[in-house]
Chains A and B, each alone.
Chain A
Amino acid sequence: MGRRSPKRMLLSGNEAIARGAFEHGVQVAAGYPGTPSTEILEEFSRYPGVYAEWAPNEKVAYDLAMGASFCGLRAMATMKHLGANVASDSIAIHPYLGVNGGFLLVNADDPGGFSSSSEQDNRYYARFFCLPLLEPSDSQEAKDFVGIGLEISERFDLPVMIRTTTRLAHSKGVVTLGRRRRPRSKPFKEFRAVGPPGQLARHREMLRRMKELEIHCEEAPFNRIEWGNDDVGIITSGFPYQVAKEVIPSASFLKLGMVNPLPTGLIRRFASRVKRLLVVEELEPLLEGQILAMGIQVMGKGVVTNRVGELSREFMEKGFGKLLSGGPVESTAEEAVRSHWEGEEDLPPRAPTMCPGCPHRGVFYVLKKLDLIATGDVGCNSFGAVPPWSVLASLVSMGASIGNALGLEKAQRVATRGDGIKPTVAVIGDSTFIHAGIPALIDVVYNKGSVTVMILDNMTTGMTGLQDHPGTGRTLRGEATRRIDYEGLCRAVGVERIRTVDAYRLSEIEEALIQETTTEEPSVIVVRRPCALLPGVERHHPFSVDGERCTGCQICTRLMCPAISLEDPLPTRRRSKGVKVRIDPEFCTGCSICSQVCPKGAIVATKGVNGGHL
């Protein structure tokens, strides 16, 4: 029998990393969901013989994976760029300590901010904390670099960071699968602790290992030169390599697989053999700055790439066009870079919005009705910041809503000496509350605040695509587990006023908000209903509009429910009063919110007497 040819599969960057981790013997992995990193851990958890978990936040995930590596197993922590901020307290110390089993931090950046509130460039973390940094450019490399990273981690005794971006994470390419190497576990070696006075010695040692790696990088196959003409030489890494290869295929390329540390000798050799040297990199001029600091003439930002937004092929084409036609190549002002295609100007945008049946819709309706301003948090509840709601005073980071609200309250008290302060409400999702909201709630109690915290418990991590968390009663691998008791937890930290309401009952939400915001005490309102997208959630009978009773007041359209539209979608921009509404039975989940706001009782359940479920 002949040897079977290796299997080829179409894998996304995330799937390829998971596959790489499996093939190269990673046995323990942890993370917290965050677009575009989430699918790595979901995929990895499906392989046999591995342990994978969603941790409450990225720092816990990182610490857990570190512990597994200290124990001698290969381990991995996965997170999005903003999550690395949360884990950074531990990442900062890790290179001082070294590893035992190979350790990977898989970090997914989001240039263009497709699903993020910033587009920070986490390559700086690798420079900042002294982590070797690999940047794959396609799915095949994503898989291969996992193996390379683990070997480097073990050989040079450092945690290794693999950085992907949205385009790599969510693009698919052909990947040749390999066999799984048998996981090896190294014996537990030594205690890992650092603090005065040993930290300076460890710092010195860390820099020495990095220097050794730098020498190794000069000859390593993951940094390679592809000679083309000698007119233009391009230094690039990661996904930008693929784009540059399309824009200017005739150029010579130095493609860096590892961007920290840099192979300075290789860069000098490459630079000396091309007439014009350019760096093609996304976001910040990290490579460009270091190459300039080596005393080498190089161009990049403002010439062929921008600092803002996803790498723009159009900008790059223009830049190379000018360069090759001998035109002026001075750096141009930062252009507004479009990351999401909007098409012709007069077309209606199709902005993401709350889904039909979203349990957050009623909360924002009531906040708006009561003219209350709330601080918001990360997740689907952030839709409350934009029209038609616009009820969120702030929207910052995981868990920030509660601290922000307490700040609003304290500032008012100082400014007015306690007279006539407006009530402060913080809105936070269940997963986010567990992630980073609990310490802030403790602060409200400890420092005698009277913030009303609304925990919007939709029983999942919604925005990232329905991941389990400590409040769902299920683990990443689908096993049943203990479920957090929010009410009990809040009571334990000292909140005395706690109540739970049904997210689909506007009157309950309203009554709770009126009572709690007029009480000078910390309070928690748990607003509960499962996310309408969760599989297994019972869909109720769709509602429909009684054409006899509907007067076309269109109050229900202000709920911005995708299931509600006008009888005639009006080819003119002018809104015409009196046009009746209709409900799409395929979209409607029967949440009944619209029927509760209809002043004429014209929205009725298609089956049952009192509506689908209420």
Chain B
Amino acid sequence: MGTYNLLMAGVGGQGILRATDVLAHVAMAQGLDVKKTEIHGTAQRGGMVYSHVRFGQKVFSPIITPGNADSLIACEALEALRWAAYLRPGGKMILDPARVVPPMVTLGWFAYPGDVVGRLRERGIDAVVVDTRPITRELGDRRLANMVLLGVQSRFLGFSLEAWRREIRSYFPEAVREQNVMAFMMGRRYNIG
């Protein structure tokens, strides 16, 4: 296989680094070469967070360049638009439409974009919209949205369900292990229409 490029983007606290760590471990367990890069220095301070994961027979640079992502998981609507140019033509976007409004919008300096799905469609991106809020409400923890989205993504990757479960279980500490597996499964079974 060629190199698969996955980008996950959102806001600090959304568990992007964890979700992409799990993906990287799944790929590594298949004997693939994996590289991953992320910028998280200011993540806790309301800054954006992104993580690039690339896996294949041999990977040199961990950086995905614009127009080359096979898949983009956007954990927030504005961030989906920001990173859309990274998706290759025909690439897959999984979008959580939940909004995290930046303080600069609250201050009136900028406007939060409306009709994100429509704007994506204008760019030729038919996003898989996954509103994680009802799911995480049911699970009782908003922070599980990352695993729901990863579960949806897993359907577009060839790895076996067992491989995913194994890596999620070995990645998370016992106290939150099963709830993460559960969130992943709910994403995997999500009706994407």
Contacts and interface: CB of A to CB of B under 8 A. Distances in A.
Contact of B102 (A8, A344, A348, A388): A348
B83 interface: yes
A545 B138 CA distance: 26
Contacts of A562: 46, 102-103
A88 interface: no
Interface residues of A, number: 58
14 contacts: A170-B37, A170-B39, A172-B24, A172-B34, A172-B37, A242-B62, A245-B61, A343-B82, A348-B113, A351-B47, A352-B46, A533-B44, A557-B108, A570-B111
B62 A348 contact: no
A570 B45 contact: no
Interface string A539-565: 000000000000000100110111011
A349 B61 contact: no
A332 interface: no
Contacts of A171: 35-38, 62
A570 B113 contact: no
Contact of B82 (A8, A246, A341, A351): A341
B104 interface: yes
B188 interface: no
B92 interface: no
B102 A10 contact: no
The secondary structure that dominates the B interface is mixed
A573 B41 contact: no
Interface in A320-342: 340-342
B37 to A, nearest CB: 4
Contact of B45 (A341, A343, A346, A354): A354
A314 interface: yes
Interface of B: 11, 21, 24-25, 28, 33-42, 44-48, 50, 60-63, 65, 78-79, 81-85, 99, 101-114, 142
B21 A10 contact: yes
A288 B25 CA distance: 39
Contacts of A246: 60-61
Contacts, number: 157
Contacts of A167: 37, 62-63
Contacts of A8: 28
Contacts of B60: 241-243, 245-246
B69 to A, nearest CB: 12
A412 to B, nearest CB: 33
Contacts of A350: 11, 46-48, 78-79, 102, 104
Interface centre among B37, B81, B103, B114 (most CB of A within 10 A): B103
Interface centre among A114, A172, A388, A573 (most CB of B within 10 A): A172
Nearest to A566: B106
Contact of A348 (B11, B28, B45, B110): B110
A290 interface: no
Interface string A474-507: 0000000000000000000000000000000000
Interface in A210-258: 241-243, 245-246
A36 interface: yes
Interface in A165-192: 166-167, 170-174
B118 to A, nearest CB: 12
A35 B103 CA distance: 25
A417 B45 CA distance: 44
Interface in A341-370: 341-344, 346-355
